[in-house]
Amino acid sequence: MEEMTLPLPSVSRMVSVEVLDSTQNLARELAQQDTPDGTLVLAYEQTGGRGQYERTWDAKRGGVYFTLVLRPEKPVRHTGNLSLKTAEAVCRALKELFGFKTKIKHPNDVLVWDKTAKRWKKICGILIESSSEADLAQWLLVGIGINVNNKLSPSLADTATSVKKLLGREGVPELVLERTLDAFREKYAQGRLSNRI
């Protein structure tokens, strides 16, 4: 586990791991150990990535996989829009960076339009977890996996895609991470002000 310092305004602490079972698992451990609000757990490859309902998430090297630990100090009932806000942030980042046409598949997927295949395909999965006490959210975990340059399993060819497949060239994972965090920070700040995270 390596501590990193990056000029990311929304990140107070960054923990980077080459290969990890799941950023969500490590982020949960850190959250339980009182890691500060804004802690980012980043992995270059996940061996046990997971999505909603414990579904597996294909997470080979080349993608962007991270979990952000948040401590909103808000009632749990005010955090119900977090998955949607996160998906909106990813859509915005992908559109700004690559011009992709995107849409959200409720509750936790981001799809892009594959012009060659003429169909919508999944490019991002989102996983939200939380812990609360007396109706107050103690911490929230925002897990995001974005297919950038990672090779996808053949079984996913009809349903999933990546930045590299859509562009025919590699994207820059660091730029995808930075732009996604910027967009998320704005959405999250708006939600906190309106009590509709």
Q: Could you give the percent of the chain with pLDDT greater than 90?
A: 73
- How far apart are the C-alpha atoms of 81 and 50, rounded to whole Å? 21
Nearest CA among 118, 119, 137, 117 for reference residue 128: 137
pLDDT at 194: 77
| Domain residue limits at 24 | 2-194
How many domains does the chain divide into? 1
pTM score, two decimals? 0.92
Going by their DSSP bridges, the two strands 39-46 and 13-20 should be labelled as parallel
2, pLDDT greater than 60: no
- 3-class SS of residue 45: strand
71, pLDDT greater than 80: yes
Average pLDDT for the chain: 90
**Sorting pLDDT into bands at 50, 70 and 90, what band is 63?**
very high
What values do phi and psi take at 116, rounded to 5? -70, -45
Question: Mean pLDDT across the stretch 72-86?
Answer: 88
Q: What is the pLDDT of residues 29-52, one digit of tens each?
A: 999 999 999 999 999 999 976 655
CATH number reported for the structural domain that contains residue 36 in this entry: 3.30.930.10
CB 2 within 8 A of CB 28: no
Q: What is the pLDDT of residues 116-153, one digit of tens each?
A: 999 999 999 999 999 988 888 899 999 999 999 999 99
